[in-house]
């Protein structure tokens, strides 16, 4: 009685530590990497509850739905929170962050999402990191949607807590995620009486029970399937090469954008400036009088495997997301996605130029 998913030997501590080292290498850092065995919201919540308390003053940058969630957790911890919200069709600038910090010298924590798959924008983390570092605040970044899709250098950029997951550009599973932790972040966590301890959310538990004891014994049984799948996705990324993978995502984004613009008929990129658009996914605004959910449903009837979804929540009527990440970051998927959306719009009576769109996709695939 064997099955490849059930016939696994237990994952050893040294194997687990080796996967951590490979994740650190992928992120070009020698800082500690803590792999938390849950969907990315686990380390994200663990980071915020670990550093925040009633004495915390936080600047929470909101460029999409995840930033809103971080603000809720920070307030729940009793922190004083200043939200810096920018329209989802843009990115935040380092200058906006600089001004917000100058207004409130007491800010000691900054949370930011690097790329937002849900809204399709990406923020200049390197520049913002310089500003945050000069101010002296601790800097947390959600890089779940950027890792693999675009350059990500948490240590060089001054990111103290950088959370990643394998489920987007790395083409891996959801259910296992990692966070890089700077020495400054460990100090803040250790000094915070409100940080979770003896808890599934606790980063400090991992430090005390795993890192400080030489990574010899795991605190609990590792999730083998997820860990092996994470290892496989890192291995695949190493084999293809960081530059090739990020170039594939950049091409997918620019070709989707160009194809959508060439369709005409009122289809428009949701993120106005191409430089603010995330390589991981492209968001589109549907023509007036059409419903994004209906356009997506029609497109998927023709081609069910395409990575098309309508926007979440209030955006369901107006936004289409083309999730061209991981194995979907290919010319073929982009070509088929633009064609299927164009076909769906044509069925709904919108005049679109399918051949111009096809040409634009081919020409802008770099
Ligand atoms: C995808 C994503 C996550 C993880 O959430 P899931 O919806 O479970 O995949 C976290 N943060 C950002 C910015 C993401 O894009």
Residues 236 and 103 in one domain: yes
Closest to 120 (Cα-Cα) out of 174, 64, 68: 64
Neighbours of 301 (CB within 10 A): 12
- Among 240, 262, 280, the domain-final residue is 240
Closest to 350 (Cα-Cα) out of 301, 304, 285: 285
For atom 10 of ligand 1, which residue has the closest CA?
A: 144
The pocket around ligand 1, CB under 6 angstroms, is made up of 39-40, 66, 113, 116-117, 142, 144-145, 165, 167-168, 174
pLDDT of amino acid 8: 87
Residues 274 and 139 in one domain: no
For the stretch 52-109, pLDDT in tens is: 999 999 999 999 999 999 999 999 999 999 999 999 999 999 999 999 999 999 999 9
What are the helix (H) ranges across 77-123?
94-103
Atom of ligand 1 nearest to the CA of 177: 4
Atom of ligand 1 nearest to the CA of 118: 15
Neighbours of 178 (CB within 10 A): 26
Residues 342 and 286 in one domain: yes
Residues 39 and 167 in one domain: yes
Residues 44 and 86 in one domain: yes
Atom of ligand 1 nearest to the CA of 39: 8
Residues 246 and 107 in one domain: no
- Among 206, 240, 274, the domain-final residue is 240
Atom of ligand 1 nearest to the CA of 280: 15
Nearby residues of 156 by Cβ (< 8 Å), 6 or more positions away:
28, 126
Residues 174 and 81 in one domain: yes
- Among 197, 223, 240, the domain-final residue is 240
| In the block, residue with structure tokens 């954008």 | 257
Residue 344 reports pLDDT greater than 70: yes
Ligand 1 centroid–CA 68 distance in Å is: 13
Ligand 1 centroid–CA 151 distance in Å is: 18
β-partners of residue 121 are: 277
- Residue 250: CATH number of its domain: 3.90.1150.10
Residues 17 and 131 in one domain: yes
Does the annotation list 321 as a binding residue? Answer: yes
Q: Using DSSP, state whether 134 is helix, strand or coil.
A: helix
Antiparallel, parallel or unpaired: β 80-85 and 57-62: parallel
> What percent of the chain shows pLDDT beyond 90?
95
Q: Render 156-210 in DSSP notation, one character per residue.
A: TTT-SEEEEESSSTT---SS-EEEEE-HHHHHHHHH-TTS--SSTT-HHHHIIII
State the chain's mean pLDDT as an integer.
97
Contact 68, 116 (CB under 8 A): no
Pocket test for ligand 1, best of 42, 45, 144, 167 (most atoms within 8 A of CB): 144
Domain range for 271: 242-364
For the stretch 193-249, pLDDT in tens is: 999 999 999 999 999 999 999 999 999 899 999 999 999 999 999 999 999 999 999
Q: What is the 8-class DSSP label of residue 211?
A: I
- Residue 115: CATH number of its domain: 3.40.640.10
Burial-class residue 239 by CB neighbours within 10 Å (0-12, 13-18, 19+): exposed
Ligand 1 centroid–CA 66 distance in Å is: 8
Ligand 1 centroid–CA 144 distance in Å is: 6
Residues 53 and 199 in one domain: yes
pLDDT of amino acid 5: 86
For atom 5 of ligand 1, which residue has the closest CA?
A: 40
Closest to 90 (Cα-Cα) out of 331, 270, 305: 270
Half-sphere exposure of 290 toward its Cβ, with a 13 Å CA cutoff?
Answer: 28
Q: Supply 216's token pair.
A: 């010899």
**Residue 58 belongs to what H/E stretch?**
strand 57-62
Closest to 341 (Cα-Cα) out of 269, 276, 277, 249: 269
Residue 190 reports pLDDT greater than 90: yes
> What percent of the chain shows pLDDT beyond 70?
100
Nearby residues of 30 by Cβ (< 8 Å), 6 or more positions away:
24, 155
Residues 216 and 288 in one domain: no
Atom of ligand 1 nearest to the CA of 40: 4
Contact 173, 230 (CB under 8 A): yes
Give the count of domains, the chain.
2
Confidence label for 332 from pLDDT (cuts 50, 70 and 90): very high
pLDDT of amino acid 1: 64
Q: Per mean pLDDT, which range of 50-54, 324-328, 362-366 is the poorest? A: 362-366
Ligand 1 centroid–CA 348 distance in Å is: 32
pTM of the model: 0.97
Burial-class residue 110 by CB neighbours within 10 Å (0-12, 13-18, 19+): buried
Our CA angle for 364, 331, 307, nearest 5°, is 115
Ligand 1 centroid–CA 171 distance in Å is: 13
Residues 63 and 207 in one domain: yes
Ligand 1 centroid–CA 106 distance in Å is: 30
Residues 180 and 40 in one domain: yes
For atom 11 of ligand 1, which residue has the closest CA?
A: 144
């Amino acid at each position: 009685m064997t099955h490849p998913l059930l016939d696994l030997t237990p994952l050893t501590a040294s194997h687990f530590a080796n996967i951590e080292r490979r994740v650190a290498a992928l992120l070009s850092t020698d800082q500690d990497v803590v792999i938390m065995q849950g969907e990315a919201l686990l380390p994200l919540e663990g980071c915020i509850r670990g550093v925040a308390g009633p004495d915390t003053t936080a600047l929470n940058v909101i460029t999409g739905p995840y930033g809103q969630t971080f603000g809720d957790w920070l307030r729940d911890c009793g922190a004083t929170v200043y939200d810096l919200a920018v329209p989802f069709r843009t990115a935040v600038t380092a200058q906006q962050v600089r001004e917000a910090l100058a207004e409130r010298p007491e800010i000691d924590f900054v949370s930011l999402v690097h790329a937002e798959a849900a809204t399709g924008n990406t923020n200049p983390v390197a520049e913002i990191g310089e500003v945050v570092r000069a101010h002296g605040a601790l800097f947390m970044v959600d890089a779940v949607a950027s890792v693999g899709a675009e350059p990500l250098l948490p240590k060089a950029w001054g990111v103290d807590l950088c959370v990643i997951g394998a489920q987007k550009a790395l083409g891996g599973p959801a259910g296992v995620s990692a966070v890089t932790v700077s020495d400054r972040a460990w100090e803040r966590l250790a000094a915070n009486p409100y940080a979770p301890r003896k808890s599934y959310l606790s980063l400090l538990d991992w430090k005390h029970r795993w890192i400080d004891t030489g990574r010899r014994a795991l605190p609990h049984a590792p999730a083998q399937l997820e860990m092996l799948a994470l290892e496989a996705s890192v291995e695949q990324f190493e084999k293809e090469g960081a530059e090739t993978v990020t170039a594939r995502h950049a091409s997918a984004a620019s070709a989707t954008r160009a194809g959508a613009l060439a369709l005409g008929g009122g289809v428009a990129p949701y993120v106005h400036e191409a430089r603010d658009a995330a390589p991981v996914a492209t968001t589109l605004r549907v023509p007036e009088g059409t419903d994004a959910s209906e356009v997506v449903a029609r497109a998927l009837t023709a081609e069910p495997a395409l990575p098309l979804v309508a926007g979440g929540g209030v955006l369901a009527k107006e936004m289409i997301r083309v999730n061209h990440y991981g194995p979907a970051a290919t010319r073929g998927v982009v070509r088929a996605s633009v064609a299927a959306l164009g076909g769906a719009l044509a069925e709904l009576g919108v005049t679109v130029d399918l051949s111009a769109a096809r040409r634009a996709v081919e020409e802008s695939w770099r």
